[in-house]
Chain A
């Protein structure tokens, strides 16, 4: 018996909304089995994963804290993804953004000039953008795949980070830990809600969402990007410049990731340390796709994934789940999302075997 995928005549709008919900349900079901097989209390694990983040104001504020970088990076990446420009190395641009922002407080630890924080954000934005544009230059000049280049450059960024933290930028009074000095107060982002760690980077992310929405849904530039992604030959026919789409797609992705990186060191970390490589850049790819690459959908998906992050943390504590199990859950979610999404667009046909 053979299976064939047949494209459906039309994908219903309802199905577009139910796909993520169905994917979540299936991911829960599969992880229930997985957790049970690990000998853990599956019910408690899911309770911790999905409900605990909502049960106290503090844990909810932590969700918002995680959501800020995920949302910001995912909005930037989605713009490129819709133009078939696949920036897989946002993690690298995030790290470079964090590095560039950190340079200011590292070299001026007592600097109390008022422009410290805006300058850090600007440095981060610039660093992330330039780092991503290297891939754009290689793609437009030599045809090098931006998928591979951005991914490899993310690995390079990690090594630069290690070098700086183990060498020139190491805090001399830091007991030889690989981290910089603690940043002065004027190098830290203002807190949004007293008593929490949620800072104004969430506002950056929401502003980026508004920008992405206006550009992708209502501006001609966004239309050109979408056309380039859906039908590259139609974009060529219309005369939209293909290299410009690559520069724009990668540049905006790098910009968003750079700002997110700067916000991370100027926010919850308060210094540059190795844990800045927390995988936001990779998780944002999942966020972008679970959100259907739609600016509004990405707001919802970044919230969802943040809940799973925070829930995952508490699940490792209260239900004794290994960290890897939480990552498996995230992977399952993406897997089932892609599965349900494919089934919305295609139907499966079985070849019946009939004797001739």
Chain B
């Protein structure tokens, strides 16, 4: 380990309007170390990485590289120093091949680049065909391309933003092996995550962020997940009450050989999907996004019409040809994965957002909006679901992801649905809100609601569901009993190794 830290941040602060995103952050990263930056959503992790990668500039504070103070005005400045970053959402062109994508950033002849890609692949376990088209690659392979593209710039520090959130368990293992090889090669790695077990397994140092400040600097191998979580959220980790699953009752939702052609070249066609959902049970659909999750959710909600009415049955009625409003009348409710722009209109107040789906709750009188009812409903939702907001007049677009999700979930629950579809319930939601959301769903189940959950978070599915399916390339696996299935088993379905 050299005398100077490779990267050192000293009292770095960044403010956006009224939000203090980072406050007097001190951070030291050494060569040959895998350093975790741990924190909930909104803790300031992304802002910190943007400062290090030159996307944003700090208001106050200093950044040192090998002991020299530097100003990073743009990412290319950071790259010139030797900082590479792999983003959570990939920035590859799907219509180009791997080597073409790489050549957009790295100068050189195609043949030489292809050779370099293959060499790096051998060296660090990042095997990928340089001439494959990106849209044919799996998520794990795409991530490898992103990492290779960074490595070709010979970085000394590699930043990985939530790299495992999109990967099946098997690919996570492989990624960790690669990262350990890079570490042995002397590279410094900043590993951003909120998954505590992974951090304990991989990292030698962890900086914990909470509310924009560093609240702890620990060796994660010496702490258990519980104490790390406590550092991260500032209090005891809340438990989800595991009520005993009730005996499922009557059938509420049924998919009969549901097939649907893809709408665009990059969509996914669904093929022969069968599913049964009964009252008093939560059924989960695991799988990595992009395997038909969006298409399936839109078909069940009615945003996309099925090709035949009988392909989808809600409350025993054939509804494939009906729109979302008609399905809601039968007792269906839906929480979509995108909150802003789909589950809620960002420019409208919360009260007006209640009207979006809850208008049937006596909010209209001869078509005219009854503002009193609308506000009362909204206020009740805010209180009952612990939505942190100034009130019903607050704009939906101004709220944090977790709060807005609580509002949308609350609105749909207050419709007293008999059957509910919840898509990615805790995407971008902090741990506190995620726990509250899961508990609400379990309560709904206990009251006899039938709930279908589509999620990428396997822990979440195992926690709530009695039955699990896996969606892979538009095919749905048979129902697996959650109590008798392991995450590895699910993982095999997720990568198509089992059918």
Which A residues are within 8 Å of any B CB, using their own CB? 9-10, 214, 218-221, 223, 226-227, 230-231, 233-234, 236-241, 351-356
Please indicate the chain B residues that have their CB under 8 angstroms from the CB of A355 in the complex: 71
Is there contact, CB below 8 Å, between A219 and B367? yes
Decide: A221 and B70 in contact? CB cutoff 8 A.
no
Partner-binding segment picked from B160-168, B338-346, B446-454: B338-346
Which residues of chain B come closer than 8 Å to A219, judged between CB atoms?
Answer: 367-369
- Report if A239-B71 is in contact (Cβ < 8 Å); known contacts: A220-B369, A234-B341: no
Are B368 and A218 closer than 8 Å at their CB atoms?
Answer: yes
Q: How far is A237 from B342 in the complex, measured between Cα atoms in Å?
A: 6
Could you list which residues of chain B lie within 8 angstroms of chain A, going by C-beta atoms? 17-18, 57, 70-74, 76-77, 80-81, 301-303, 323-328, 334, 336, 338, 341-348, 352, 355-357, 359, 364, 367-369, 395, 398
Taking the closest CB of chain B, its distance from the CB of A77, in whole angstroms, is 20
Contact status B344-A234, CB under 8 Å: yes
Determine the residue in chain A with the shortest Cβ distance to B365: A220
Q: Which residues of B contact A352 (CB under 8 A)?
A: 57, 73
Question: Nearest Cβ in chain B — how far from A5, in angstroms?
Answer: 16
Can you report 23 residue pairs joining A to B where beta carbons are below 8 Å apart?
A: A9-B18, A9-B398, A10-B395, A219-B368, A219-B369, A220-B355, A220-B364, A226-B348, A230-B347, A230-B348, A231-B341, A231-B346, A231-B347, A234-B342, A234-B343, A237-B324, A237-B336, A239-B324, A241-B323, A351-B74, A352-B57, A354-B73, A356-B81
Chain A residue numbers with a CB within 8 Å of B334 are 237
Q: Given contacts A231-B341, A237-B324, A239-B328, list 15 more A-B pairs with CB under 8 A.
A: A9-B17, A9-B398, A220-B359, A227-B345, A231-B342, A233-B341, A234-B344, A234-B345, A237-B303, A237-B334, A237-B336, A239-B324, A239-B325, A351-B73, A352-B73
Contacts of A231 in B (CB 8 A): 341-342, 345-347
Smallest CB gap from A238: residue in B? B356
The 10 A-B pairs of least Cβ separation, nearest first, read A239-B324, A239-B325, A356-B77, A354-B73, A231-B345, A233-B342, A354-B71, A231-B341, A238-B356, A239-B323
With a CB–CB cut-off of 8 A, which chain A residues contact B369? 218-220, 223
> In whole Å, how far is A350's beta carbon from the nearest beta carbon of chain B?
12
Chain A: CB-nearest residue to B371: A218
| Chain B residues in 8 Å Cβ range of A214 | 368
List chain B residues, Cβ under 8 A from A351: 73-74
Query: Which of B77, B338, B364 is A233 in contact with, Cβ under 8 Å?
Result: B338
Q: Which residues of B contact A234 (CB under 8 A)?
A: 341-345, 356
Contact A221 B367 (CB under 8 A): yes
A252 CB to nearest B CB, Å: 15
**B71: A residues at CB distance < 8 A:** 354-356
- Are A239 and B343 in contact (CB-based, < 8 A)? no
The chain B residue with its CB closest to the CB of A356 is B77
Compute how far the CA of A219 lies from the CA of B327 in the bound complex, rounded to whole angstroms. Answer: 23
Query: Given the complex, which residues of B lie within 8 Å of A239, measured CB to CB?
Result: 302, 323-328
- Chain B hits for A236, CB < 8 A: 303, 324, 342
Of the listed residues A10, A221, A239, A352, the one surrounded by the most CB atoms of chain B closer than 10 A to its CB is A239
Nearest residue, chain A, Cβ from B328: A239
- Bound-state CA distance A356–B70 (Å) is 7
B342 CB contacts on chain A under 8 angstroms: 231, 233-234, 236-237
Residues of A within 8 A of B70 (CB): 356
Supposing A352-B73, A355-B71 touch, asked if A238 and B324 sit within 8 A by C-beta, the answer is yes
State A220–B348 Cα separation when bound (angstroms). 14
A356 touches B80 (CB 8 A): yes
Cα distance, A221 to B369, chains bound together (Å): 10
- A356: chain B residues at CB < 8 Å are 70-73, 76-77, 80-81
What distance in Å separates the Cβ of A307 from its nearest Cβ neighbour in chain B? 32
A180 to B68, CA, bound (A): 86
**How far does the alpha carbon of A356 sit from the alpha carbon of B328 in the complex, in Å?**
57
Nearest residue, chain A, Cβ from B325: A239
Nearest residue (CB) in A for B352 is: A223
| Residue among B80, B334, B343, B356 with max Cβ neighbours from chain A (10 Å) | B356
Q: How far is the CB of A3 from chain B (nearest CB, A)?
A: 15
Residues of A within 8 A of B81 (CB): 356
Name which residue of chain B comes closest to A7, CB basis: B397
Cβ-defined contact, B368 with A220, below 8 A? yes
- State the Cβ distance, A259 to closest chain B Cβ, in Å: 23
Q: Shortest beta-carbon distance, B286 to chain A, in Å?
A: 24
Residues of B contacting A218 in the complex (Cβ-Cβ under 8 angstroms): 368-369
User: Which residue from chain B places its CB closest to the CB of A236 in the assembled complex?
Assistant: B303
Q: How far is the CA of A234 from the CA of B369 in the complex (A)?
A: 19
Query: Which of chain B's residues have a CB closer than 8 A to the CB of A10?
Result: 395, 398
Beta-carbon contact of A238 and B325 below 8 Å: yes
A296 to chain B, nearest CB (A): 18
- Among residues of A, the one whose C-beta sits closest to the C-beta of B359 is A220
CB distance from A250 to the nearest CB of B (A): 21
Shortest CB distance A49–B (Å): 35
Nearest-neighbour CB distance to chain A for B169, whole angstroms, equals: 32
Residue on B with the closest CB to A8?
Answer: B17
A227 and B356 contact, CB distance less than 8 A: yes
Chain B residue with the shortest CB-CB distance to A10: B398
A352 to B57, CA, bound (A): 10
Task: Tell me the smallest distance from the CB of A260 to a CB of chain B, in Å.
Answer: 26
* A353 with B73: CB separation less than 8 A: yes
B303 neighbours in A (Cβ, 8 Å): 236-237
Contacts of A223 in B (CB 8 A): 352, 355, 369
A353 to chain B: which residues have CB within 8 Å? 73
Q: Which residues of A contact B336 (CB under 8 A)?
A: 237
What CA separation (Å) do A221 and B364 show in the bound complex? Answer: 11
Task: Report how far A310 CA is from B486 CA in the complex, Å.
Answer: 80
A251 to B138, CA, bound (A): 48
Q: Which residues of A contact B364 (CB under 8 A)?
A: 220
Interchain CA distance A354-B69 in the complex, whole Å = 13
For A241, list chain B residues within 8 Å (CB).
323
Is the CB–CB distance between B301 and A237 below 8 Å?
yes
Q: How far is the CA of A352 from the CA of B54 in the complex (A)?
A: 12
Docked Cα-Cα span, A241 to B326, in Å, equals 12
B362 to chain A, nearest CB (A): 12
Contacts of A354 in B (CB 8 A): 57, 71, 73
Please measure, in the bound complex, the distance between the C-alpha atom of A9 and the C-alpha atom of B394, giving whole angstroms: 12
| A227, A231, A234 — most chain B CB neighbours (10 Å) | A234
In the bound assembly, the distance between CA atoms of A230 and B348 in angstroms comes to 9
Q: Which residues of A contact B325 (CB under 8 A)?
A: 238-240
Question: Could you say which residues of chain B place their CB within 8 Å of the CB of A230?
Answer: 345-348
Enumerate chain A residues within 8 angstroms of B302, measured Cβ to Cβ: 239
Complex Cα spacing A222 to B423, Å: 29
Residue of B nearest to A353 (CB): B73
Give Cα A220–Cα B365 distance, bound, in whole angstroms. Answer: 9
Identity of the chain A residue whose Cβ is nearest the Cβ of B356 in the assembled complex: A238
CA–CA, A221 and B344, complex, Å: 18
Bound CA–CA A221/B345 (angstroms)? 16
Measured between beta carbons, the chain B residues less than 8 angstroms from A226 are 348
